[in-house]
Structure 1
């Protein structure tokens, strides 16, 4: 079981704030810098866990909390997992949380036009999707509130988010990697959609951030490990390549050499300094 993040040093925080009313999963935690006054730019953290596990207080929040020391407010969100609701409930919730943050920016001391999303693993997929899909209405649920408020973000940090579920097994076979069963009825991806992903390709395609690229994407910072055996590095690179070809904004892609899925190499000071420099360029 994953440990919780260390938030004991954060002096001002609001926990378990409801952002929508469909589920007990639709809550978020807000952390403020110990120094300085708002309004603050915002980092929205989307946890991972194969769409089936995870929580807004998981230890993967720790590197994002470093943003507090650099003048960012950090908002960590929960969303409905696949055991509770099927796709697209997960991205519906992410967008509802972004809308809540923007709609309440003045009261929460946030800058409504300076919102970034940062996610890893499944959260990386959702962060990338939030970035490329913008205000795509098909991925929003009007029952979750704040209709008319934009769900667009101004920057995306994507830690090894899986892409294009339907091609993952074939790509692994080409690379000679055995044991990958993403097409199986019991895979995390099939559990997410409610049936084998090969039997519902149109629905699965709506979870692919590549599907929404139109050149109007916000700046992206994308990283994955060369030894990642969960999220396919080549598919993530393909996503980054398409973004770089079409987007008008900065797209940074980096391989972390000899690193696997979620290795500590992503949390080193040097690596985090690069990420926060990227966020500073676009949110400050």
Structure 2
């Protein structure tokens, strides 16, 4: 396991709807060999819904928004962003938002760093999934896996490389990215999504930013670290993890184990880059340290990298900084290009 402990010292606009494009049937308008620049228009504000600050995608010319990848929920949509230059097929970043499994969106500012992928020759696929208020575990991971299968099934049409896919997420998105990575060769988390089952949800690399891994250890690790948890006790019935699991995590240990990416580690897993701030008040740093050690035991040093960002909290500028993103894209380029 490669470790680099560095002191690396946050980055937003409404996503546009593709003009003239049906968001319910992307195949009619999807690029086939070369993505052509499309005119975009301002997304309409949904009545009665508070609009969170959105990631700036104004620099990306080629995009296809609100593509349906599943039939279980209206939440099952994804956005595709292509590099402004290049012929493709492009390697793919599956961008998974955070929000404690109970909030967040594929247009949120926590995807800012991932959108930089288009400047490095990657297509970025931002995924929405069912939140815990709509459906409990394993709905979210089942949706992300379904989205990956959809991308692979339509890779030729969308000018994407189905054999070069990375899952990248932060916080709850980090958990889901890690879970995609370790469970790619397992069918137990597919849930009720049955589309494109002839394709796997396996990925070639994972970028896990400060994801919670072992829910049952969150409280004790905070006590050991001396850091006051910003979100209170996680072993309570109203914690994000308990809402996600569908009951107090201390009383649903079997489900918690199934939501733990470490449960599924095998020698066939992809390469992992794990990054975490040492002053994180939302997810203890020890979560990533323990997970990286378990991965290394099976995969070896060459496939697991851990970076601890000294003094960094839960996301923000230290992760989005030019220096840190260079480390991330160096890792991805090494694996996928």
State the TM bucket, normalised to the shorter chain. over 0.9
Query: Is the aligned partner of 1:152 residue 2:205?
Result: no
Matched-pair contact (CA < 8 Å) for 2:277–2:313: yes
Q: Is 1:70 aligned to residue 123 of structure 2? A: no
| 1:86 partner SS | coil
3-state SS, counterpart of residue 280 of structure 1 = helix
Contact 2:143-2:193 within 8 A present in 1 as well: no
Among 307, 312, 320, which residue is 1:254 paired with? Answer: 307
**Residue 39 of structure 1 contacts residue 110 of structure 1 at CA under 8 Å; is this kept in 2?**
yes
Q: For residue 232 of structure 1, what is the aligned residue in structure 2? A: 284
- Which 10-residue stretch deviates more, 167-176 or 246-255? 167-176
Match of 1:115 in 2: 165
Contact 1:22 1:144 in 2 (8 A): no
Residue 70 of structure 1 and its aligned partner are, at CA, apart by 1.2
Q: Deviations over 1:19-48 (max 9, x none)?
A: 001001000000001111111000010000
Structure 1: gaps spanning 5 or more residues: none
Structure 1 segment 12-31 matched on structure 2, within 5 A: 12-31=62-81
Any residues of structure 2 matched to 1:203-218 within 5 Å, and which? Answer: 203-218=255-270
Q: 2:140 aligns to what SS in structure 1?
A: helix
Match of 1:222 in 2: 274
Distance 1:272 1:106 in 2: 28
CA drift of 1:245 comes to 1.8
- After superposition, residues 83-162 of structure 1 pair within 5 angstroms as 83-162=133-212
Query: In proportion to residue count, which structure has more helix?
Result: 1
Asked if 1 retains the 8 angstrom alpha-carbon contact of 2:228 and 2:281, the reply is no
- Structure with higher RCO (Cα < 8 A, 6+ apart): 2
- Deviating above 4 A after TM superposition, structure 1's stretches of 4 or more consecutive aligned residues are none
Q: Distance in 1 between matches of 2:327 and 2:311?
A: 19
Q: CA deviation at 1:142?
A: 4.9
CA shift at 1:175, angstroms?
Answer: 3.2
Find the residue that maps to 2:270 and give its secondary structure.
Answer: coil
How large is the Cα RMSD of the aligned pairs?
1.3
- 1:11-50 matches, within 5 Å, as 11-50=61-100
Partner of 2:319 in structure 1? 266
- The answer to whether the Cα contact below 8 Å between 2:98 and 2:172 also exists between their aligned partners in 1 is yes
- Residue 199 of structure 1, CA deviation: 1.0
Deviations 1:92-122 (A, max 9, x none): 0010000000111111101110000100010
Secondary structure of the 2:151 match is helix
Deviation readout 1:156-192 (Å, 9 max, x if unpaired)? 0010001100111122223344553101011111111
- Segments of 5+ residues of structure 2 without an aligned counterpart are 1-50
Distance 1:209 1:143, change over 3 A: closer
Measured in 2, the distance between the counterparts of 1:226 and 1:2 equals 27
Q: Does 1:281 align with 2:334?
A: yes
- Between 1:150-159 and 1:212-221, the stretch displaced more is 212-221
For residues 283 and 6 of structure 1, the distance between their equivalents in structure 2, rounded to whole angstroms, comes to 26
Within 2, Cα distance between the matches of 1:85 and 1:142? 12
Structure of greater Rg: 2
- Asked if the contact 1:163/1:232 (under 8 Å) is kept, the reply is no
* Counterpart-to-counterpart distance in 2, 1:230 and 1:2: 20
**Separation in structure 1 between the aligned mates of residue 88 and residue 191 of structure 2, nearest angstrom:** 30
